[in-house]
Structure formats: C-alpha cells, structure tokens
C-alpha cells in the first residue's frame, strides 16, 4: 500500500505549477538570478500584479513607483492593503490622468476635473463652462479700468503666460511644480455652514488637496479671478499689496477657489503671492496684468487639505 505523498517543500502559495514554470523561464531569460529563493520572490510578485489587474486595479498599477516594487516585492501577501489603497486612490489618479492628457493638448482649465456627478454635484452653484484654473482677467472697458493704472505702473517680474507657468512651474523649476497634482477630493462630513431656513448645510463636501508631497516653496497653482479696483472688498475677494486692488473670484471658479480658509489662530500651509506679468519679450518696465500664485509654506503630505490665509 502506498503511503501519503510527501508535502512539497517551500512556502505554501496559490501559484499553480504552470505559473511557476513560466515564471522560472522568464526570470532566467531576464537574468534576474537562478536561486530558488529569488525565483520564488519574483514569481510571487508577478502573481500579485496579475491578481491586482484582475481585480480592476489598473490605474494604481500604471502609477506604481520603484518604492512600490521594493516594498511589495518583499511583502507579496499585502493584497488587502492594496485593495484598501485603491478605494482611496483610484478616483484621484484617474483625475490626474485626464488632467495630464488635457494639459498636453494645451487645456489648463481643469474642466475635466468636474465632468461627472461625483465632483460637480458637490459644487452646486458652478457653471461648467466658467470653470477655469488658468484665468486672470481685468475689465479693460468698464468704469474700473482707469483706476487700474496702478497695475501698469508696477514693474513686472515675469514674462511667462499662465499656461506656461502651470506647465513648467515658477522660473521653469519643474521639480518644484506640484500644480498638476492638486485635486478636489470628495468626502462626507460637517461643513459648519448654514443655508436658508437655518437648515444644516450639505454633508457632501470637497477638499482641495495634493496627491504628491509638497515642500516649502513648491508651486501649487494659480488662484483664478478678475482684477478689480474698488473701495469695498468684494464678497469673494483676495487683498492685493495695493490699497483698493482685489482679485475677485466670484465669477471665475476653479479648484484653488475652494481651498479652506484658515480660522482665527489656525495655521495655514500655503500663501498667496501676487506677481506682475508682462508677456512682451524683453519688456519689464510695466505690468500687463497680475496673477496670484499659490505657494506651499510648510511640508504638505498627500491628501492634506490646503489651507490659505483669509
């Protein structure tokens, strides 16, 4: 009578013999080493990637980094961890992909961010066509135009367009340009605001966050709006360095308009810097317009809310 077959040596896995055979051939062909332990690790890692793809984690896999490979090459059983990550990362990574494609086509408005109900429904009052992350305008024909002469008598510090700065960063420093990573993150919570009839405000909220870590001095984008010269502060206005000069963002919505405003004694993690611009080559003696840069002033981790000064 034949006794029980011996248990196979080595760690127990759900990898089939056929998968092991194919993986071994590939590892040897690629020159990744022929030790038994090395073959097992590579086979387990590729099996993990295969299973993740079958579970629909395509976007996460496309954006994986060398750090991802290093960690999960050693921890191939962290399947549930990756599924949990995907619940958080899949939507913003898809937004990032659409945003990069749009920018490569010359569209820096970020209108692609609000397509579909997941973001747009939480904005409530925004007209899709008005959404623009790269727009700074001034009224060249209205009654305020004459008072805007202070703009033209100021010295310009940049000759680059808004679109150039959003693509290349300030002074062309790409490694400090994190603007493409800034995104709207939907979440449920208490807004603390009230609406007509003293009813609680919606709990369907949005956070303006960055998907990549930002360091002090990193560029996070432009605060879109209209330059105005008025005696009284507009209801949605950003104060400039000059008396009576404001950036009114009530009619030019964009992502950074929705940043959280710091409460009294609350620490901010970004600042708003006004920059004079003249796009005429070699001309810096006057400004054609101003724009407001959003700059990180502290270390900001992925998914931290951006908090601006009042």
Nearest-angstrom CA–CA distance, 148 and 160: 21
Residue 107 corresponds to which tokens in the numbers above? 């569209």
- The β-bridge relationship of strands 204-210 and 136-138 is unpaired
Q: What is the pLDDT of residues 166-209, one digit of tens each?
A: 999 998 888 999 999 999 999 887 666 555 455 555 677 899 99
What mean pLDDT value characterizes the chain? 85
**Does the structure show a pLDDT above 70 at 227?**
yes
- pLDDT tier at 2 (50, 70, 90 boundaries)? very low
Strand, helix or coil at 34?
coil
Residues 273-297: what's their mean pLDDT?
Answer: 89
Nearest-angstrom CA–CA distance, 288 and 188: 42
- pLDDT tier at 1 (50, 70, 90 boundaries)? very low
**86 Rama sector, left if φ>0, alpha if ψ -120 to 50, beta otherwise:** alpha
8 Å CB contact between 186 and 202: no
Does domain 122-308 match CATH 3.50.50.60?
no
Burial 80-96 (b: 16+ CB within 10 A, else e): eebeeebeebebbbebb
Least confidently predicted of 62-76, 100-114, 173-187, 190-204: 190-204
Residue 117 or residue 184, greater confidence: 184
Residue spans of the domains in the chain: they are: 17-86, 122-308
Strand-pairing partners, residue 271, are: 295
pTM of the model: 0.83
Nearest-angstrom CA–CA distance, 270 and 296: 4
């Amino acid at each position: 009578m034949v006794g029980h077959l011996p248990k196979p040596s080595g760690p127990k896995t759900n990898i089939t013999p056929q998968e092991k055979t194919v993986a071994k051939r590939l590892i040897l062909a690629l020159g990744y080493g022929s030790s038994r332990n090395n073959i097992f690790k590579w086979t387990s890692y590729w099996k993990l990637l295969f299973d993740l793809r079958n579970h629909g984690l395509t976007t996460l896999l496309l954006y994986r980094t060398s750090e991802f490979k290093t960690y999960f090459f050693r921890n191939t059983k962290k399947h549930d961890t990756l599924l949990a990550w995907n619940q958080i990362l899949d939507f913003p990574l898809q937004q990032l992909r659409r945003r990069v494609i749009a920018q490569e086509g010359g569209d820096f408005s970020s209108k692609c961010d609000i397509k579909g109900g997941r973001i747009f429904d939480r904005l409530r009052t925004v007209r899709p066509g008005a959404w623009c992350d790269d727009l700074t305008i001034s009224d060249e024909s209205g009654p305020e135009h004459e008072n805007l002469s202070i703009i033209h008598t100021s010295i310009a510090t940049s000759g680059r367009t808004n679109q150039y700065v959003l693509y290349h960063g300030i002074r062309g420093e790409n490694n400090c340009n994190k603007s493409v990573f800034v995104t709207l993150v939907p979440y449920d919570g208490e807004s603390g605001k009230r609406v007509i009839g003293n009813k609680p405000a919606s709990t369907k909220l949005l956070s303006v966050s960055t998907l990549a870590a930002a360091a002090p001095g990193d560029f996070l984008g432009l605060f879109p709006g209209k330059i105005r010269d008025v005696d009284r502060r507009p209801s949605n206005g950003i104060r400039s360095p000059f008396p009576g000069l404001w950036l009114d963002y009530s009619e030019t919505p964009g992502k950074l308009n929705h940043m959280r405003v710091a409460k009294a004694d609350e620490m901010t993690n970004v600042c708003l810097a006004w920059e004079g611009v003249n796009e005429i080559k070699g001309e810096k003696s006057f400004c054609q317009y101003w724009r407001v840069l959003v700059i990180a002033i502290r270390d900001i981790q992925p998914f931290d809310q951006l908090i601006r000064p009042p």
